[in-house]
Amino acid sequence: MTHTMPDSRGHFEQFGGIFVPEALQAAIHELAEVFEAAIHDEVFLAELRDLQLHYAGRPSLLTFAERFSEHCGRARILLKREDLNHTGSHKINNVLGQALLTKRMGKTRIIAETGAGQHGVATATVAALMGLECRVYMGRMDTERQALNVARMQLLGAEVVAVEAGSATLKDAMNEAMRDWVTNVADTHYMIGTASGPHPFPKMVREFQRVLSTETRAQCLEQYGRLPDAVCACVGGGSNAIGMFADFIDSPEVALHGFEAAGDGLQTGRHAASITGGSQGVLHGTRTFILQDDDGQTVESHSISAGLDYPGVGPEHALLAVKGRAIYEPVTDAEAMDAFKLLCRTEGIMPAIESAHALAGARRLALRLAATSPQLSPLLVVCLSGRGDKDVDTAMKWFGIDGVADATTGAFA
């Protein structure tokens, strides 16, 4: 399926496509052509591999989480350590590829949208590396929740623009970036960070994130002599998940599990679970599952994780879901934060809250397997898509930690 999808106009059967204004068609066609040529060009691929190796720090480790696994029935949990990449998440994989494409197209300016700030930071990073002008659009609400990342982008030389429109979150930042792109398309590349948007973005982001599953597959075979029984990833727009699934899609013995942000719970309506709690529609240039009301107006999403707080999902995930090739389940804020704490305390690894959704889902899956198939000792890989440093403020509020020392010593009372 991976190798034939999407078709030349970006359709993953009934999903995907190009639903953007005519003014962008020329840029989209140029991008698709340059991309298709590049991924078959050894010079391009060598340049990308060199950056992955000597700049991003690839390959990322596959770590056996032994003490975390003790809380997961009979499963062995392996962590794909994207948190160890330069800039602290999987987002660097995609931006390195797209930045090289930008240079091939002779464009000098990149724009991006960001929610949590990880894609924005990654974009600002490659802009600095390659000498490109950079502007990042971020919902005003997100600039407040993620002030540290705003500063990081500014330190890297990017201009950060807060978006007041609509709900002032990631989806509105995407609208604003699209408007900028329509206006400045001659010299500007829009570096979409997620596996959604109009064709060729879903395919392009998958191909630049495919390295996750290519490495995992090889590492698993080398270290354990077999493929994993299941691969788990969090799904917002779905870029780490599609990269983590890509090389396993044609291996039916490997189960694929995506975990969506259920926020306060699906039944509350305050969630970001587009597949498990949404319906088919068109958003940001693609037909997929989205959160919408009866009229088709986009409904605001809710998640403790800014990176998953998006009311749509990549079109390939929509197809994998309806085909049953991948299983998508919701994970609440509370479940994710429990897993966040558990990984901190058992492994000394602080995950991004996004990734904590995958950890919580994997643990639930492992416990379910232990109950239904107690004879199995399943091998589960979880994509640890990013590190949690950016989430310390959120975690302090959630756990009621005030940052004050537990005790004082050294003073004569």
Partner 1 sequence: MNIDPRLGITGHVLTRAKQQNRSALIGFLPVGYPTVSGSLDAMKALVEGEGIGVDIVEIGMPYSDPMMDGLAIQHATTRALQRGVRIADVFTAVETVAAAGAVPMVMIYWNLVERHGVEAFARDLANAGGAGLITPDLIPEEAEQWVGVSDVHGLDRVFLIAPSSTDERIAMTMAACRGWVYATSVMGVTGARATTSAAAPVIVERARAIDPSIPVGVGLGVSDGDQAAEVGSFADAVIVGSALVKCLIEAERRGSNDMGGLRRLVSDLAAGVRRTN
Helix (H, G, I), strand (E, B) or coil at 381: strand
Q: Minimal distance in Å, beta carbon 280 to partner 1?
A: 8
Among 89, 239, 301, 385, the active-site one is: 385
CB of 106 to partner 1, least distance (A): 15
Pairing mode, if any, of strands 279-283 and 286-290? antiparallel
SS3 content of the chain, % helix, strand, coil (to 5): 45, 20, 35
Least distance (Å) from partner 1 to the CB of residue 295?
5
The site for partner 1, by CB under 8 A, has a size of 35
CB 330 within 8 A of CB 266: yes
Residue 102 or 149 having the CB closest to partner 1: 102
Do 343 and 349 form a contact (C-beta atoms < 8 A)?
yes
Cα(14)–Cα(12) distance, integer angstroms: 6
- Compute the Cα dihedral for 255, 259, 260, 262 and give only its sign: positive
Residues 266-325 that bind partner 1 (CB under 8 A): 281-285, 290, 292, 294-298
Residue 323 annotated as catalytic = no
411 binds partner 1 (CB under 8 A): no
Q: Catalytic site residue 354?
A: no
Contact call for residue 26 and partner 1 (CB under 8 A): yes
User: Is 305 a residue of the active site?
Assistant: no
x/- map, 166-205, partner 1, by CB under 8 A: x----xx--x--xx--xxxxx-------------------
C-alpha dihedral over 257, 263, 266, 270, to 10 degrees? -140
Binding of partner 1 at residue 406 (CB under 8 A)?
Answer: no
Nearest-approach distance from CB 325 to partner 1, in angstroms: 25
Catalytic residue among 82, 89, 91, 354: 91
Contacting range for partner 1; rule: CB under 8 A; set: 24-32, 224-232, 237-245, 318-326:
24-32
Q: Are 154 and 160 in contact (CB under 8 A)?
A: yes
Separation CA 204–CA 194 (nearest Å): 10
Give the residue, chosen from 5, 6, 12, 17, that forms a contact with partner 1 under the rule CB under 8 A. 17
Tell whether residue 154 is a contact of partner 1 (CB under 8 A): no
Residue 18 binds to partner 1 (criterion: CB under 8 A): yes
List C-alpha distances in Å: 246 to 33, 64, 208, 230, 354.
22, 22, 11, 13, 20
Choosing from 20, 127, 160, 358, the residue that interacts with partner 1 (CB under 8 A) is 20
Minimum distance of partner 1 from residue 12's CB (angstroms): 14
> 60, 107, 113, 305: which is the annotated catalytic residue?
113
Please state, as a whole number, how many other Cβ atoms lie within 10 Å of the Cβ of residue 66: 11
At closest approach, how far in Å is the CB of 399 from partner 1? 34
> In terms of Cα–Cα distance, which of 21, 16, 173, 39 is closest to 98?
39
**236 lies in the site for partner 1, by CB under 8 A:** no
Q: How large is the C-alpha radius of gyration of the chain?
A: 20
Residue closer to partner 1 (CB basis): 17 or 330: 17
H-only helix segments in 70-169: 91-104, 118-130, 140-145, 147-155
- Site residues, partner 1 (CB under 8 A): 9, 17-23, 25-27, 165-166, 171-172, 175, 178-179, 182-186, 281-285, 290, 292, 294-298
The catalytic site residues sit at 91, 113, 385
